[in-house]
Every structure is written in C-alpha cells, then in structure tokens.
Amino acid sequence: MFSVVPARDAEGHLELRPESALVLLPGGKFWMGTQAQDPAAPHHDPQAAPGCGPVHEVSLELFFCASTSTPWSTGDNARSFLEHANLADQAAKRAGAPWPAIRELPELDDGCVLTAVVGSFHPNPSGLQDMHGNVREVGKLTGKEATGRAHLYVTRGGCYMDGPSLARSAYREAQLIDAKEGMFGVRAVRGVER
C-alpha cells in the first residue's frame, strides 16, 4: 500500500522503503505555506541549520584539484575527460545543439545531450564523481570579494554545454544569485560522524 506520509522509526527518522520517493522541486521561488494559513498546524522553521547550504567555494578547491597540479583533476590535457565528464559533445551535436564548445574536443561522445545521471562517469583521483561537467557547481562564497557586488555566486566545474576549457579546475565564473538555468547545481554533502 502506498502512503503519502512516510513512516518514521522510534527515533523519528524516515523509514526508507521501496515505495519511498524524493520530490524534486524546480529551481526558483515558491510558497511553502505559513502559520497564518493554519495556526493549528505544527510550526516549521524553513531556515537551514548552521552549516547547511552549498559547499563553501574554498572547500571545493581541494575536491576539484584532487591533490593534482594539472589543469584538470583527470590529467594534463582535455582528452583525459573522455570518461570523466559530461561536456558539450557529439551527442549534443547530433541533437542539434548550437554550442560552440562542441568543437573543443571533437572525439568526445558521452551519449548525453543535457544532464547525465549523477555518478555516470569515472571519479577523480579523490574518488569524487561529477566534479567536472554535467552542471556548474554553485559555491557558497558570493562573488563580492572579487566583484564588489554581493548578488553574485561563484560557479565552477563546467556543465553539459561547456567544453574542457571551462571545466578546468581553476576556472570560475560569477553568476547572478537569481539565475534560473538548468546548468547550475549544488552538491549534497554531510559531515562524517565518528
């Protein structure tokens, strides 16, 4: 039997079952509801706990470079991406994508036109997947330090419509906080408990 409300164990944790599902909300703004609508409802504070949110951009540096000194964590040249990243490629060209970056690495054909399933490609030397390509990763650090304007975020890693030049470990790009594009993403992480 399918239940809309997931079951919880004695400690209040969700019990994951085969019928459990996650609901993905599109980016942008939405109304969650307020206490004014139903004062008898339980109070939910929609603010994130300290430490929750996008990974800090400075922390991402270690993971993107993967303790290497090469332009890409996968090696010295763009061809090292062939099994490690979802970038602009022949699959996109066959689908009619007009992206100039397709010409950067003509032999790349990862089979994905837009985003790929997370974890589809080989990991970097640190064991992390999707550090280059797929979606540009949003870092917590705003671009204020570099631009003097606090309404920007730093993105890195390149995306499905970029070539290797924009997926380099050192490449960063400022983006408006309210940009609504399918090429941006955040990495879900949690602290390791000992």
CATH number of the domain residue 149 falls in: 3.90.1580.10
123: tokens are 């990991």
Residues 3-23 have a mean pLDDT of 66
Is 17 contained in some domain? Answer: no
- Residue 52 phi/psi, 5° resolution? -90, 145
Is 127 contained in some domain? Answer: yes
Is 46 contained in some domain? Answer: no
Q: Where are the beta strands (DSSP E) in the chain?
A: 136-142, 152-156, 172-176, 184-185
Query: Does residue 43 surpass a pLDDT of 60?
Result: no
Question: Which pLDDT band, with edges at 50, 70 and 90, does 133 fall under?
Answer: confident
pTM: 0.64
Q: What is the pLDDT of residues 83-94, one digit of tens each?
A: 888 999 999 999
Is 166 contained in some domain? Answer: yes
If one compares 112 and 168, the residue with the highest pLDDT of the two is 112
Is 38 contained in some domain? Answer: no
Q: How many residues does the chain have?
A: 194
Interatomic CA distance for residues 154 and 179, integer angstroms: 12
Is 20 contained in some domain? Answer: no
Question: Which pLDDT band, with edges at 50, 70 and 90, does 100 fall under?
Answer: very high
Is 116 contained in some domain? Answer: yes
Is 13 contained in some domain? Answer: no
Percent share of the chain, pLDDT over 90: 18
Structural domains counted in the chain: 1
Interatomic CA distance for residues 17 and 20, integer angstroms: 5
pLDDT at 42: 55
Range of the domain at 153: 57-177
Residues 67-85 have a mean pLDDT of 80
pLDDT at 1: 41
